[in-house]
Amino acid sequence: MTNLAKTIPLPLVRTNQWVIFLSVLLSLFLQQYWIMLIPLLAGLCGLLFQWNPIMKLASLFLKKPKKEYHQEDWDQQQFNQIIAVVCLAVSSISFFLNWTIVGYIFAVMVGLASIIAILGFCIGCFIRFQWKKYQYNRSL
């Protein structure tokens, strides 16, 4: 199966988004920044090994076969995951280095992006669409 044919059931994508949002929220509220390592490490596993432990765990709770759910594009989700992993990594490293302002900026960015996606607008999708449009226009 090629990447073009791969999809991810929407409930798994939503679970990942909720974990990102809640991890960021708890990290900032409790000032326990290590909590952001949970979605960071899960996202890295997803990107490097195509195995996201959060989605794997969530898939155990699906009531229907995966193909019966609304599907999200795998390539788009990989793009979104790259953005999330970069923001979580920059935030985590910044907090480790006591660069609190940078840590907060990147944590808030990824937290907002995840809750906005849950509410229905995917910022990563918009960025990727604009990038693809730019590439296409440049090729003309």
Token pair in block for residue 6: 């791969």
Amino acid identity at 32: Q
Whether the CB-CB separation of 69 and 38 falls below 8 Å is answered with no
Domain boundaries, the chain: 3-139
pLDDT reported for residue 4 = 53
pLDDT reported for residue 5 = 73
Token pair in block for residue 116: 């906005």
Global pTM exceeds 0.85: yes
pLDDT tens over the chain, length 140 residues: 455 579 999 999 999 999 999 999 999 999 999 999 999 999 999 999 999 999 999 999 999 999 999 999 999 999 999 999 999 999 999 999 999 999 999 999 999 999 999 999 999 999 999 999 999 999 99
Amino acid identity at 103: G
Whether the CB-CB separation of 47 and 82 falls below 8 Å is answered with yes
